[in-house]
């Protein structure tokens, strides 16, 4: 029964590797002695686990110890940015993007390729993405970085590794495979943008990230984790009903938020968000009314979202970050008016600081999150 | 450093006790050998942990082993209903309720006391509840049951142990203490009713439980856990916006679901739900139209809820269970019409089988859940 005993031993060791790495990730650099205190493991066990993590290149040990840390001074174990990294990818309506991020959350490589992916052939677009993956992998290798996995953000709904529906790409039921031999995940752009905001933006542990694009998505982060729902389809804020008998929406419903506050509704016949901003800055009455109407609808939909999801704060991202000056007033007023008696104060409204990079950064963050949750599995530590 | 070493040892042992008990809870009776296989712990460790759990009375060991289980036949370790139980409590608008449930989920004691708690004095109502607690505790003691904790369901929002707002009771910021010396928790009735449905009803792991009462709440269960939001205020389905400029709601908003589909809207001047059912059964046109309108509004609000929460199925409880025959049609049609293109099929619509007991049973279930998550802490196992 040696094999069976081996399995038992490994599963315990894998759990403990995750406990030690998770502690460093959550609460920063610590000495081995402090890690033993914090994890409830013996110093001998911690030293052996730290040895494995050092060898795998996910942590490094240095002399600096934070002031006030208990016990004798000693070397601090911290996450290492030297040898391990992850790959974030994004297919969006008008571009492809990729980034390589190391474990200290430093962006090491970054590419965006403009592209017209509206109603594109998935095979062609994914072929272009594959070229980008090769370029990034080669770049990472030159920098001495091992990439442990990749994740792809898409503007649509995802089940498992199948892109179920991305209406603005015109894609349905596309199985995304063969991009890379690395461990691979695919998720909705709003979920990953929320993770991007968590890992690279405000870093608050509880918020609703609202991704204003041609479609409107939302990603809810609770206690540092993205809430995904049963099938991973949660957060479709763009199809929350604002007016039951309103205009028809492409989803088959009527009066959805997207009809009033999606990019197409905001731009009308204008070519770009930049041109809308110029009109708003010049005080153009029609542009201001359009924004006011969108902000009002967003306030109604977010009221429903707050009642159902109870987010700690609301972060407006995507084009809503660009238009925040004009949206903030009507959205905040709508929330205050409708939520007043149910809650002391409505959730704080904020603007995202990381802009259009949120989703691709979040994709890289997802892979880091998985590595930290199970380093033994991801790094193949025996 | 013996004390410190003791702490480390205990924290590991506490974790392992939870792993073993959780395995029995999730996947049923197992031999000690099977438990070792399933948990990755050694047989010696499992035997020592099972010994502690036997002594605490949470498990029992018997000869019966399920067919097809691997390894030699042996005694199976299963949850015991003999010695440990939990106490569920409920304050609602027209009654107080209590139940004692053992670890096999058998209801051992059950009391409901009719009461008029609308705009009541919290001190008086909680005094009556304290008497009920004494009666139940004494009854449990006579049955040889040790109660490990209690939880209270209330028709309002809760933060920590404070009932923030229960508008139909007329209570605000009531700190609920002194009911019992037992470990104690308090939660919203819809959250606990969802837990009741999970533990005592359909036992599906993913669903949205809709509690139709004077207020309308919802509890979302994902992967067997109630989703609570940041402040525990999630699931306020009754205040999802159905029509932005609709009639004023007591929450300060306008056109909320409760205005169209709460018990007061459904009953109008009728005295009871039973009298509405009699009219519906006799084909009364006005009663049928009222139900149709409520079902339509419920379909709109549930569309928004499905887009945001992505529940696997929707369970209608409370008075919606009683009125299911008349609500099912308009609700299902609304979901199908609006969700059609976004999802293959809308979530299945079901009626709750456990009726008005859901919340008080769920309260007892919450305490069982906590015991299983950390038996060392709850049972004071050293």
- pLDDT tens for A157-177 read 888 888 988 888 999 999 998
Q: How far apart, in whole angstroms, are the C-alpha atoms of residue B169 and residue B153?
A: 13
Chain B interface mutation, best of A240, A257, A297, A304, highest count of B Cβ atoms under 10 Å: A304
Write down the pLDDT at residue A8: 47
CB contact under 8 A, A36 and B339: no
Write down the pLDDT at residue A354: 86
A233 — pLDDT class (breaks 50, 70, 90): confident
Q: In percent, how much of chain A has pLDDT > 90?
A: 72
**CB contacts, 8 Å: A234 with chain B:** 308-310
Mean pLDDT of A220-224: 87
Angle at A366 between CA A364 and CA A370, to 5 degrees: 120
**Above 80 in pLDDT, residue A69?**
no
CB contact under 8 A, B311 and A240: no
Write down the pLDDT at residue B342: 72
CB contact under 8 A, A300 and B241: yes
State the nearest Cα–Cα gap between A26 and chain B, in angstroms. Answer: 19
Considering only CB atoms, A342 lies closest to which of B239, B301, B342, namely B239
Which of B375, B372, B370 shows the shortest CA–CA distance to B23?
B372
* Residue ranges, chain B, pLDDT below 50: 1-8
Chain A interface mutation, best of B11, B187, B252, B308, highest count of A Cβ atoms under 10 Å: B308
Is this complex scored with an ipTM above 0.90? no
Mean pLDDT of A317-342: 92
Chain A interface mutation, best of B46, B304, B313, B339, highest count of A Cβ atoms under 10 Å: B304
CB contact under 8 A, A231 and B312: yes
Write down the pLDDT at residue B376: 92
Size of interface A-B (CB pairs under 8 A): 160
Check if the beta carbon of residue A107 is closer than 8 Å to that of residue A99. Answer: yes
For B204, the 3-state DSSP assignment is coil
State the nearest Cα–Cα gap between B354 and chain A, in angstroms. Answer: 23
The full set of domains in chain A, from first to last, is 2-79 (1.10.10.10), 84-196+359-373 (3.30.420.40), 202-353 (3.30.420.40)
Write down the pLDDT at residue B8: 47
Across A14-106, where does the E strand assignment appear?
A: 59-62, 76-79, 84-91, 95-102
Q: Residue A80 CA to chain centroid, in angstroms?
A: 21
Tens of pLDDT, residues B23-41: 999 888 999 999 998 888 8
For B263, the 3-state DSSP assignment is helix
Beta-bridge mates of residue B76: B62
CB contact under 8 A, B244 and A244: no
Angle at A200 between CA A62 and CA A304, to 5 degrees: 145
How far, CA to CA in Å, does B80 sit from each of B50, B104, B371, B378? 12, 6, 13, 16
A203 — pLDDT class (breaks 50, 70, 90): confident
CB contact under 8 A, A229 and B242: no
Q: How far apart, in whole angstroms, are the C-alpha atoms of residue B272 and residue A4?
A: 64
CB contact under 8 A, B338 and A252: yes
Chain B interface mutation, best of A241, A255, A376, highest count of B Cβ atoms under 10 Å: A241
Pairing relation of β-strands B207-212 and B107-114?
unpaired
**CB contacts, 8 Å: B42 with chain A:** 5, 8
CB contact under 8 A, B242 and A241: yes
Write down the pLDDT at residue A382: 63
Considering only CB atoms, A244 lies closest to which of B234, B250, B300, namely B300
A3 — pLDDT class (breaks 50, 70, 90): very low
């Amino acid at each position: 029964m040696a094999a069976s005993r081996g399995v038992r031993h490994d599963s315990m060791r894998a759990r403990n590797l995750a406990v030690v790495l998770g502690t460093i990730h959550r609460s920063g650099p610590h000495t081995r002695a402090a890690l033993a205190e914090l994890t409830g493991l013996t110093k001998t066990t911690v030293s052996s686990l730290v040895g494995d993590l050092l060898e795998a290149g996910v942590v490094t040990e240095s002399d600096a110890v934070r002031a006030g840390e208990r016990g004798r001074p000693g070397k601090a174990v911290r996450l290492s940015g030297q040898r391990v990294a992850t790959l974030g990818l994004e297919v969006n309506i008008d571009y492809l993007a990729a980034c390589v991020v190391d474990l200290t959350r430093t962006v090491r490589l970054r590419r965006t390729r403009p592209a017209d992916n509206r109603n594109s052939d998935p095979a062609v677009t994914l072929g272009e993405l594959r070229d980008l993956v090769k370029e990034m992998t080669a770049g990472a290798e030159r920098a001495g970085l091992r990439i442990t996995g990749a994740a792809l953000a898409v503007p649509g709904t995802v089940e498992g590794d199948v892109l179920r529906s991305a209406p603005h790409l015109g894609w349905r039921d596309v199985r995304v495979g063969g991009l890379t031999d690395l461990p691979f995940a695919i998720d909705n752009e709003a979920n990953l943008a929320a993770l991007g905001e968590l890992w690279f933006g405000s870093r608050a542990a509880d918020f609703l990230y609202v991704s204003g694009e041609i479609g409107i998505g939302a990603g809810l982060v609770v206690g540092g984790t993205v809430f995904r729902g049963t099938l991973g389809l949660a957060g479709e804020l763009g199809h929350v009903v604002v007016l039951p008998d309103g205009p028809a929406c492409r989803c088959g419903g009527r009066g959805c938020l997207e009809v009033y506050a999606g990019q197409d509704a905001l731009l009308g016949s204008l070519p770009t968000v930049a041109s809308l901003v110029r009109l708003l800055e010049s005080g153009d009455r029609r542009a201001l009314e359009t924004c006011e109407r969108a902000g009002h609808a967003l306030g109604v939909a977010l009221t429903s979202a707050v009642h159902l999801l109870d987010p700690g704060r609301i972060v407006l991202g995507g084009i809503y970050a660009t238009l925040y000056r004009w949206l903030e007033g009507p959205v905040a007023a709508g929330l205050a008016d409708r939520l007043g008696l149910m809650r002391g104060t409505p959730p704080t409204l904020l603007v995202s600081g990381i802009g259009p990079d949120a989703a691709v950064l979040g994709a890289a963050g997802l892979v880091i999150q998985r590595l930290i949750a199970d380093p033994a599995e991801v790094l193949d530590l025996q």
